[in-house]
């Protein structure tokens, strides 16, 4: 055992029996590096990372390699999901050095935490022009002993590049005073053309293999369609969902989506399942269904919710982080199928089922079969002259049988960390479906989850922690934790009308403005002011696997500014958008959430106040439609421009719609409200 045996992160515990003398990130290891004048080897990964497992087996469990590491380095293991700010800093360092990044991320640091060299996976022996891990270790040791000044100069250069990279994204910023008079039309059109050029018209999604779902871009396209009535944007969303939901990246048996596909057609998944991907899947499907009802999207959402409840939910009502790609040391073993095993099932339509899911005797992937379809059940039934009702029942029976078979298998590893931001992302997703599908208890899931998160992660002064494991919440909350909890509180206030949620959002917003704000550029740091782990404070400006926390916070400020008539919040949101606008429109795929939120800011925006005892019928109607250009205000914030005498003649519930300049006459039915907002 090494020092990691006392940790609670599943990833660190995976390495607690390595012969490498691993430390967790903290003062003990950092002080030891200074005291012994040794470089730090910081190895970053996460518990469901396939190549992290491979490097552990090949190198970190090898006695000779471990002995060399122990003799010449202070070795630190870091869970990237616990410390995303450190992962970002050192990932950028490796990208500058190598031109690419990934996990495991192996970085060599001075004792003061500045990086001077790094890479990703290294094999135990030289191959394919890659040095062995021991080659790398020997070279670093030699440089540390005989070329120390070169090492220090390299660290200084990399630290400077990390800071400059952030500045480069906002160096062409538009001054806030000019931004309010800016002409956006050409920029929006250019951004849309660039996004369209990266779109895969055959299979949906963006770019080539490996292919990630890009939910932020799909959500942005939905917003683009709302404001500009561009039907091609909706077609791009539909093509993408057709490819993903029929493909192997979506678990056809158990529900839920994998992190990415290794092929362009979405058929071969990298089998790990992350909580944030499934939250984004649910929310984006909900946006699409608000725009146009789709039975298959509803079916997918239901199956994904059932997957989360069955495999990812803690007894507390909160949700775990991830499921591993590997089981029994083999990638995908839990999810793939043998032809003979499936053929032997005593089910009706078995031959049609195997054909529908592209099952082959020789296997469709590494001698096994991943289930994926190339058309929807309706089209397959028509082509094969099957009774649709019977065919759909055969599919359900098939899935039930395979799910029962899976229960007999050894399950993939579960990362049982509960991360605040990832859980908070689920709440808007649940609420989207609460207004579309009342049968599944979506709203109760959202309410229960929010209350438990608040109890678990928020102290009496509203400061948030980030991670919960083994009955304890720990680590200071980062910007994403605050941003997603504020967003969840706003959405719950919108859905219920309960001002308690709004009060929570106001308190957390005050902390963000105090602890995270950079007055030099109106943007927010990833970490609070008191965080001492980083040698440089950085900002999360572009989307990665989830939306940029700065973009989410900008949208929060814009919406809060309308809900409580706080003009300073709206001005702050506009300033943030003005700083990023050039980068947003130049690189729309990387800044998709900024673009989505930005469309709400630069286009006409409306606030709605609902007055009367029957406000829930108005709220239900409002939330069942896709209306990103409006928000429901807090009661009692009715604009002074409303003619109050008009309200005296209305006995029932009514709604007032206001823009920045004027308000409507009272609207007495939900239908009138929806028509006015559309």
What tens digit of pLDDT does each residue of 47-81 get?
999 899 999 999 999 999 999 999 999 999 999 99
Q: Other C-beta atoms within 10 Å of 311: how many?
A: 17
Contact between residue 490 and residue 352 where contact means Cβ atoms under 8 Å apart? no
Beta bridge partners of 525: none
First to last CA, the chain: 63
Q: Is the pLDDT of residue 646 over 60?
A: no
Helix axes 185-197, 567-586, angle to 10 degrees: 50
Q: 477 in helix, strand or coil? A: coil
Q: Which residue has the tokens 């869970």?
A: 79
Secondary structure (DSSP) of 533-550 = S-SS-----S-SSS--HH
Q: How confident is the model at residue 663 (pLDDT cuts 50, 70, 90)?
A: confident
pLDDT at 549: 98
The Cα–Cα gap between 123 and 36 comes to 28
The Cα–Cα gap between 345 and 237 comes to 36
Which has the minimum average pLDDT: 277-286, 311-320, 611-620? Answer: 611-620
pLDDT at 642: 53
- From residue 335, how far is each of 353, 366, 370, 375, 406 by CA, in Å? 17, 13, 7, 21, 8
pLDDT at 644: 55
Q: How confident is the model at residue 366 (pLDDT cuts 50, 70, 90)?
A: very high
DSSP annotation of 570: H
Mean pLDDT of 303-329: 95
Q: 262 in helix, strand or coil? A: coil
Closest by alpha carbon to 395, among 330, 334, 347, 462? 347
* Residues whose CB falls within 8 Å of the CB of residue 103, separated by 6 or more in sequence, listed in order: 44, 45, 46, 49, 51, 52, 80, 120
Asked whether the CA dihedral 594, 595, 599, 602 is positive or negative, the reply is positive
Mean pLDDT of 186-208: 95
The Cα–Cα gap between 489 and 360 comes to 49
Element (H, E) at 518: strand 517-518
pLDDT at 279: 98
The Cα–Cα gap between 620 and 173 comes to 40
* Angular region, 486: left φ>0, alpha ψ -120 to 50, beta rest: alpha
Beta strands 630-632 and 606-611: pairing type? parallel
Q: Tokens for 438?
A: 């009342």
What are the structural domain ranges in the chain?
3-170, 176-334+415-603, 339-408, 607-677
Q: Is the pLDDT of residue 364 over 60?
A: yes
Q: Tokens for 537?
A: 């404070």
* Residues whose CB falls within 8 Å of the CB of residue 519, separated by 6 or more in sequence, listed in order: none
Q: Other C-beta atoms within 10 Å of 108: how many?
A: 25
Q: Tokens for 241?
A: 């969902």
Q: Is the pLDDT of residue 640 over 70?
A: no
Mean pLDDT of 164-193: 88
Identify the CATH homologous superfamily for domain 3-170: Glutaredoxin (3.40.30.10)
Q: Is the pLDDT of residue 117 over 60?
A: yes
DSSP annotation of 633: P
Closest by alpha carbon to 420, among 483, 371, 336, 470? 483
pLDDT at 180: 82
Mean pLDDT of 195-199: 96
Q: Is the pLDDT of residue 672 over 70?
A: yes
* Residues whose CB falls within 8 Å of the CB of residue 75, separated by 6 or more in sequence, listed in order: 20, 21, 22, 23, 40, 41, 43, 69
For residue range 103-114, list pLDDT tens digits in order: 999 999 999 999
Q: Is the pLDDT of residue 345 over 90?
A: yes
pLDDT at 501: 97
For residue range 512-554, list pLDDT tens digits in order: 999 999 999 999 999 999 888 999 999 999 999 999 999 999 9
* Residues whose CB falls within 8 Å of the CB of residue 96, separated by 6 or more in sequence, listed in order: 158, 161, 162
SS3 per residue for 109-141: ECCCCCEEEEECCCCCCCECCECCHHHHHHHHH
Q: Is the pLDDT of residue 641 over 60?
A: no
* Residues whose CB falls within 8 Å of the CB of residue 604, separated by 6 or more in sequence, listed in order: 629, 659
SS3 per residue for 341-394: HHHCCCCCCHHHHHHHCCCCCCCCECCEECCCCCCCHHHHHHHCCCCHHHHHHH
Q: Other C-beta atoms within 10 Å of 396: how many?
A: 9
Mean pLDDT of 362-372: 97
Distance of CA 62 to the CA centre of its chain: 35
pLDDT at 548: 97
The Cα–Cα gap between 218 and 289 comes to 13
Asked whether the CA dihedral 199, 203, 205, 207 is positive or negative, the reply is negative
Q: How confident is the model at residue 647 (pLDDT cuts 50, 70, 90)?
A: low
Instruction: Provide, rounded to the nearest whole percent, the portion of the chain with pLDDT above 70.
Output: 97
Average per-residue pLDDT for the chain: 94
Q: How confident is the model at residue 645 (pLDDT cuts 50, 70, 90)?
A: low
Mean pLDDT of 97-126: 96
Instruction: Provide, rounded to the nearest whole percent, the portion of the chain with pLDDT above 90.
Output: 88
Mean pLDDT of 283-289: 96
Helices (H) and strands (E) in the chain, counts: 26, 20
Q: Other C-beta atoms within 10 Å of 82: how many?
A: 24
Element (H, E) at 523: strand 523-524
DSSP annotation of 629: T
pLDDT at 169: 86
Contact between residue 269 and residue 213 where contact means Cβ atoms under 8 Å apart? no
The Cα–Cα gap between 259 and 276 comes to 9
Q: Is the pLDDT of residue 204 over 90?
A: yes
Closest by alpha carbon to 263, among 274, 277, 248? 248
Which has the minimum average pLDDT: 403-412, 606-615, 669-678? Answer: 606-615
pLDDT at 124: 96
DSSP annotation of 59: I
Which phi and psi angles does 317 have, rounded to 5°?
A: 100, -5
pLDDT at 635: 62
Q: How confident is the model at residue 268 (pLDDT cuts 50, 70, 90)?
A: very high
pLDDT at 639: 52
For domain 176-334+415-603, give its CATH number from 3.20.10.10, 3.40.640.10, 1.50.10.10, 1.20.1250.10: 1.50.10.10
Q: Tokens for 643?
A: 């003619």
């Amino acid at each position: 055992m090494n020092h990691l045996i006392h940790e609670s992160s599943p990833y660190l515990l995976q390495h607690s029996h390595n012969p490498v003398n691993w430390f967790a990130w903290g003062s003990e290891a950092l002080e030891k590096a200074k005291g012994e004048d040794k470089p730090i080897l910081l190895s970053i990964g996460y518990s469901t990372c396939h190549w992290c497992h491979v490097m552990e087996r090949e190198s970190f469990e090898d006695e000779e390699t471990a002995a060399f590491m122990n003799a010449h380095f202070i070795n630190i293991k870091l869970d990237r999901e616990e410390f995303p700010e450190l992962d970002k800093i050192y990932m950028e360092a490796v990208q500058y050095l190598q031109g690419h990044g990934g996990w495991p991320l192996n970085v060599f640091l001075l004792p003061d935490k500045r990086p001077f060299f790094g890479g990703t996976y290294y094999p135990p022996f030289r191959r394919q022009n890659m040095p062995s891990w021991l080659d790398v270790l020997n070279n670093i040791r030699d440089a540390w002993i005989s070329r120390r000044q070169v090492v220090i100069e390299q660290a200084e250069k990399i630290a400077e590049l990390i800071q400059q990279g952030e500045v480069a994204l906002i160096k062409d910023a538009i001054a806030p005073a000019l931004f309010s008079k800016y002409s956006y039309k050409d920029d929006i059109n250019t951004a849309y053309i660039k996004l369209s050029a990266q779109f895969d018209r055959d299979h949906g999604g963006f770019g080539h293999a490996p292919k990630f779902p890009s939910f932020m871009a799909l959500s942005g396209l939905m917003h683009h369609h709302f404001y500009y009535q561009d039907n091609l944007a909706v077609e791009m969303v539909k093509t993408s969902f057709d490819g993903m939901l029929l493909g192997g990246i979506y678990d056809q048996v158990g529900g839920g989506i994998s992190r990415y596909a290794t092929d362009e057609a979405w058929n071969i998944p990298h089998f790990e399942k992350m909580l944030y991907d499934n939250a984004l899947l649910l929310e984006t499907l909900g946006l699409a269904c608000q725009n146009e009802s789709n039975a298959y999207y509803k079916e997918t959402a239901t199956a994904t919710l059932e997957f989360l409840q069955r495999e990812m939910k803690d007894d507390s009502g909160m949700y775990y982080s991830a499921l591993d790609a590997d089981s029994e040391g083999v990638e995908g073993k839990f999810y793939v199928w043998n032809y003979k095993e499936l053929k032997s099932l005593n089910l009706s339509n078995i031959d049609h089922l195997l054909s529908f899911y592209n099952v082959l005797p020789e296997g469709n992937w590494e001698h096994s079969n991943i289930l994926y379809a190339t058309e929807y059940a309706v089209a397959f039934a028509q082509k094969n002259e099957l009774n649709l009702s019977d065919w759909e029942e055969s599919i359900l029976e098939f899935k039930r049988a395979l799910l029962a078979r899976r229960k007999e298998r050894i399950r993939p590893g579960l990362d049982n960390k509960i991360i605040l931001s990832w859980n908070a992302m689920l709440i808007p997703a649940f609420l989207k479906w609460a207004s579309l599908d009342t049968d599944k208890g979506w709203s109760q899931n959202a309410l229960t989850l929010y209350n438990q998160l608040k109890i678990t992660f928020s102290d009496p002064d509203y400061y948030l922690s980030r991670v919960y494991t083994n009955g304890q919440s720990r680590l200071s909350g980062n910007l994403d934790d605050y941003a997603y909890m504020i967003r969840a509180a706003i959405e719950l206030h919108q859905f219920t009308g309960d001002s308690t949620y709004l009060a929570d959002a106001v308190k957390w917003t005050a902390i963000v403005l105090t602890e995270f704000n950079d007055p030099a550029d109106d943007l927010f740091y990833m970490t609070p002011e008191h965080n001492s782990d980083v040698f440089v404070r950085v900002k999360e400006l572009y989307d990665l696997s989830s939306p940029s926390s700065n973009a989410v916070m900008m949208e929060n400020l814009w919406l809060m500014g309308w809900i409580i008539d706080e003009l300073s919040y709206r001005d702050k949101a506009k300033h943030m958008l003005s700083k990023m606008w050039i980068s947003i429109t130049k690189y729309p795929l990387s800044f998709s959430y900024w673009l989505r939120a930005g469309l709400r800011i630069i286009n006409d925006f409306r606030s709605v106040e609902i007055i009367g005892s029957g406000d829930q019928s108005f709220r239900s109607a409002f939330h069942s439609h896709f209306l990103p250009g409006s928000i429901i205000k807090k009661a009692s914030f009715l604009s002074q421009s409303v003619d109050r005498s008009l309200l005296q003649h209305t006995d029932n519930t009514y709604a007032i719609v206001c823009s920045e300049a004027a308000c409507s006459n009272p609207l007495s039915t939900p239908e009138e409200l929806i028509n006015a907002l559309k």
